Amino acid sequence: MIENFGRTQSGDTVQRVILTNGNLTAHVLNYGGILQDLRLAGYAPSLVLGFDNVFAYETAGGFIGATVGRLANRIANGHLSIEGKEFQLDHNFRGRHTLHGGQAGTGKQIWDIVEFHTDSVIFALVLPDGHMGFPGRMQIELKWQFKSDDALSAQLRARTDAPTVCNLALHSYFNLTGRSDMHGHKLRVNANQYLAVDKDLIPTGELLSVNETDFDFRLPTPLPFNQAMDYNFCLSAARQPIRAVAWLSAEKAGLTLELSTTEPGLQIYDGANLSSGVKGLNGHVYGPCSGLALEAQLWPDAPHHPHFPSALLLPAELYFQQTEFKIIRKSN
């Protein structure tokens, strides 16, 4: 089903697409490619943070549910150098860096709906050359699809007509209990290392071991975290065939979210800077740490670190990412 969801402040119509297949129902928006709602049959709470109006998505911050890019995460000083050419990007993070593709990145755009079925939808977006300072006209396709009764897949493809950078990420916040915080959850991540960052959360280039640190999630670890969390965990040195990399579980709810991806990195953000007192789905009031963002992507600030997996995209190449969210319900 496709229905009108509302209008942006600039007057653009936003549409909501309802997908269903067996146990799961997903609501996705053509504004920002947003995963607005994800429900499991017979279980009342939404499994993701979301809003029931466009205005909240435009003003609440936090990129809740959005598909962010063209270059997800942070770029130091909003500066790129590609094949000897210098590019100055939009400064939308702390007045001097670029975050999630700039203030009008993919997560703030109206995407076209190009194909729809009851269990899948394809969105398309064109970013013009120079958009937010990035070179190259980029064509992006996002396909949301139920792969089985308990798994929602997102496939992202992109092409460019000039050398550029591309790193797209799904920015959903998960909460499996319906609580206003993450108590009662455990997290497991298949990562031996994470990236060190400076005071502006920009990677220094150093890879740190998770051994004997608060960042060791190789075994299920209770939430909330012992300290603020907004770090990239290094899953591999390059893209891989899709594989399971992270598990978020809520024992009392009897649910586990299994995240599988092709990507070499997983940014884990605890939502500490989410706005307080914002009304979300089912009347829930969100605030700091109301959900956990699990953002599969390349390693952040890759253009400034040659030893990171490369974000360079050339005209002859196809960018491709696949990430899946599988909901596992414990048998009684």
* CATH code of the domain in which 160 resides: 2.70.98.10
| Residues 190-204 pLDDT 10s | 999 999 999 999 999
* Angle (nearest 5°) at CA 297 between 278 and 274: 15
Residue-wise burial string across 145-184, b where 16 or more C-beta atoms lie within 10 A, e elsewhere: bbeeebbbbbbbbbbbebebbbbbbbbbbbbbbeebbbeb
- The rounded radius of gyration (Å) of the Cα atoms in the chain is 19
Q: Are 75 and 69 in contact (CB under 8 A)?
A: no
Q: Are 163 and 314 in contact (CB under 8 A)?
A: yes
In this structure, what DSSP letter does residue 295 have? E
Does 100 qualify as catalytic in the annotation?
A: no
Q: Is the dihedral of CA 1, 151, 52, 296 positive or negative?
A: negative
- Residue type at 248 in one-letter notation: L
Backbone angles phi, psi at 101, to 5 degrees: 85, 5
pTM: 0.97
Distance (Å, rounded) from C-alpha 42 to C-alpha 44? Answer: 7
Strand partners, 286: 278
| Residues 203-238 pLDDT 10s | 999 999 999 999 999 999 999 888 889 999 999 999
pLDDT of residue 150: 85
Distance (Å, rounded) from C-alpha 29 to C-alpha 310? Answer: 30
Residue 197, C-beta contacts closer than 8 angstroms, at least 6 positions apart:
203, 204, 231
Read off the tokens for 189. Answer: 């991540």
Q: With bands split at pLDDT 50, 70 and 90, how would you rate the model's confidence at 332?
A: low
Average pLDDT value over all residues in the chain: 96
Q: Which domain holds residue 282?
A: 2-329
Backbone torsion region of residue 271, taken as left when φ is above 0, otherwise alpha when ψ lies between -120 and 50, otherwise beta: left
Does 171 qualify as catalytic in the annotation?
A: yes
| Residues 108-141 pLDDT 10s | 999 999 999 999 999 999 999 999 999 999 999 9
| Residues 132-181 pLDDT 10s | 999 999 999 999 999 977 899 999 999 999 999 999 999 999 999 999 99
pLDDT of residue 9: 97
pLDDT of residue 227: 83
pLDDT of residue 22: 84
pLDDT of residue 1: 94
In this structure, what DSSP letter does residue 31 have? B
Q: Can you spell out the DSSP letters for 141-187?
A: EEEEEEEETTEEEEEEEEEESSSEE-B-EEE-EE-SS--SS-TTEEE
Identified catalytic residue from 141, 258, 263, 295: 295
Distance (Å, rounded) from C-alpha 228 to C-alpha 224? Answer: 9
Distance (Å, rounded) from C-alpha 259 to C-alpha 176? Answer: 14
pLDDT of residue 233: 98
Q: With bands split at pLDDT 50, 70 and 90, how would you rate the model's confidence at 36?
A: very high
Task: Give the residue among 294, 194, 289 at the shortest CA–CA distance from 248.
Answer: 294
Q: With bands split at pLDDT 50, 70 and 90, how would you rate the model's confidence at 330?
A: confident
Mean pLDDT of 37-44: 96
| Residues 256-275 pLDDT 10s | 999 999 999 999 999 999 99
Share of the chain above pLDDT 70, in %: 99
| Residues 41-97 pLDDT 10s | 999 999 999 999 999 999 999 999 999 999 999 999 999 999 999 999 999 999 999
Distance (Å, rounded) from C-alpha 230 to C-alpha 228? Answer: 7
Residue 51, C-beta contacts closer than 8 angstroms, at least 6 positions apart:
36, 57, 60, 64, 278, 279, 280, 281
List Cα–Cα distances, 44 to 39, 175, 178, in angstroms. Answer: 8, 12, 8
Identified catalytic residue from 97, 171, 185, 284: 171
Residue 240's CB: how many other CB atoms inside 10 A? 13
Q: How many domains does the chain divide into?
A: 1
Three-state secondary-structure class, residue 115: strand
